[in-house]
């Protein structure tokens, strides 16, 4: 029922914009990965040096592995916090459900920076936590290892991504028809059996979506390490960021970015396939 003119009018502007400001920049990033810097100048000479460096220099692999470890920890922690919360809200919160749901959503709207900063003031050696511990006479000297460690990075990122993980899980749980739960009980399954055999399997697409989100976003994070991580928690995106800054090697930075991009896209692709396998519609 929509005319050609209509379709053209709505399709062309976003296509153009996305082509120029999204596709072209990504293409440029790919291109940069195959260029190099000589004497502080970018040289448009095609080569695979950057990628060779990536795979031969153990430093990069080490940072990559640390980043993956941190991202996996964040994902796991967010799931451990987010899933029970979503389950509680969906099945046991009763009339307070809507209110509690909003309460989980609110932090989503609160600045990343504000939340990262708040943790900094809590974890610091003269921070709130140390003050609290000394006030209770649990410790006498300020404890310095709270801040500037992989632990701090994991804590902050978990704090940021728990609501993100919560959302798709909650949506999946809400979509489970309640008669199924009743049918399971009717057939003699107790609460834990019903959870394990009906609710958990049906919520897996939401769980996967949440996990993918937390993992991918943690993987490319460079702000939390800068804010609370310190040198022992340097992540791959920090390397990229310094290559684009002081170290001035855009091609190498672009090559790493391309790797992050490819890992991200293949992860999302894999999750999508898995989600489809676990959705019964």
Partner 1 sequence: MRDTKFTSRSPLLAAYSTLVFAFIYLPIVVLILYSFNRDGVGGFPPRHFTLDWYRQLFSDSAIWDSVVNSLIVAAASVAMSLTLGLLAALALDRANFPGKVLFRRLVLLPLILPGIITGLSLLMFAVFAGMQLSLFTVFLGHGTALISVATTEIFAGLQKLDRAQEEASLDLGATPWQTFWRVTLPNLKLSLIAAGLLIFTLSMDEIAVTFFLIGRDNTLPLEIWGRLRRGITPEINAISALIFSVSVALIVVWYRLRARTMRSSPR
User: 261 vs 274, which CB is nearer to partner 1?
Assistant: 261
Task: Characterize 29-48 residue by residue with b for buried, 16 or more Cβ atoms within 10 angstroms of its Cβ, and e for exposed.
Answer: beebbbbbbeeeeeeeeeee
Task: Name the minimum Å distance from CB 170 to partner 1.
Answer: 12
User: 124 vs 150, which CB is nearer to partner 1?
Assistant: 124
- 82: Cβ–Cβ under 8 A, 6 or more apart, which residues? 162, 163, 165, 166, 169, 210
User: 56 vs 182, which CB is nearer to partner 1?
Assistant: 182
User: 107 vs 204, which CB is nearer to partner 1?
Assistant: 107
Contact predicate 93/100, CB 8 Å: yes
Dihedrals phi, psi of 131, to nearest 5 degrees? -60, -40
Beta bridge partners of 42: 37
Task: Name the minimum Å distance from CB 197 to partner 1.
Answer: 14
Residue of 264, 216, 212, 260 whose CA lies nearest to 238: 260
Contact predicate 129/146, CB 8 Å: yes
Task: Name the minimum Å distance from CB 149 to partner 1.
Answer: 17
Task: Name the minimum Å distance from CB 49 to partner 1.
Answer: 18
Residue 255, Cβ density class (10 Å: 0-12 exposed, 13-18 middle, ≥19 buried): buried
User: 36 vs 122, which CB is nearer to partner 1?
Assistant: 122
Task: Name the minimum Å distance from CB 43 to partner 1.
Answer: 15
Task: Name the minimum Å distance from CB 261 to partner 1.
Answer: 6
Residue 98 to residue 209: CA distance in whole angstroms: 22
Q: How far is CA 220 from the centre of its chain?
A: 8
User: 56 vs 109, which CB is nearer to partner 1?
Assistant: 109
User: 50 vs 194, which CB is nearer to partner 1?
Assistant: 194
Dihedral angle over CA of 114, 25, 268, 208, nearest 10: 20
Contact predicate 33/46, CB 8 Å: no
Task: Name the minimum Å distance from CB 256 to partner 1.
Answer: 10
């Amino acid at each position: 029922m929509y005319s050609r003119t209509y379709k053209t009018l709505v399709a062309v502007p976003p296509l153009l914009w996305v082509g120029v400001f999204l596709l072209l920049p990504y293409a440029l990033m790919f291109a940069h990965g195959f260029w190099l810097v000589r004497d502080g100048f970018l040289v448009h000479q095609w080569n695979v040096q950057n990628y060779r460096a990536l795979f031969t220099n153990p430093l990069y692999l080490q940072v990559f592995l640390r980043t993956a470890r941190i991202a996996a920890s964040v994902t796991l922690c967010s799931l451990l916090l987010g899933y029970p919360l979503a389950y509680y809200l969906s099945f046991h919160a009763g009339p307070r459900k809507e209110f509690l749901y909003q309460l989980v959503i609110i932090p989503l709207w609160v600045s990343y920076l504000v939340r990262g900063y708040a943790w900094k003031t809590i974890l610091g050696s003269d921070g709130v936590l140390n003050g609290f511990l000394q006030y209770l006479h649990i410790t006498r000297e300020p404890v310095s290892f709270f801040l500037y460690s992989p632990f701090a990075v994991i804590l902050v990122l978990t704090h940021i991504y728990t609501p993100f993980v919560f959302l798709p899980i909650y949506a999946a749980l809400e979509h489970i028809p309640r008669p199924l739960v009743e049918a399971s009980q009717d057939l003699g399954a107790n609460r834990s059996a019903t959870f394990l055999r009906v609710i958990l399997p049906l919520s897996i697409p939401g769980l996967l979506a949440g996990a993918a989100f937390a993992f991918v976003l943690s993987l490319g994070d460079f702000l939390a390490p800068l804010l609370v991580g310190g040198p022992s928690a340097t992540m791959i995106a920090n390397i990229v960021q310094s290559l684009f800054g002081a170290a001035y090697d855009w091609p190498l930075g672009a090559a790493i970015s391309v790797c992050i991009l490819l890992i991200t896209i293949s992860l999302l692709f894999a999750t999508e396939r898995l989600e489809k396998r676990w959705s019964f519609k």
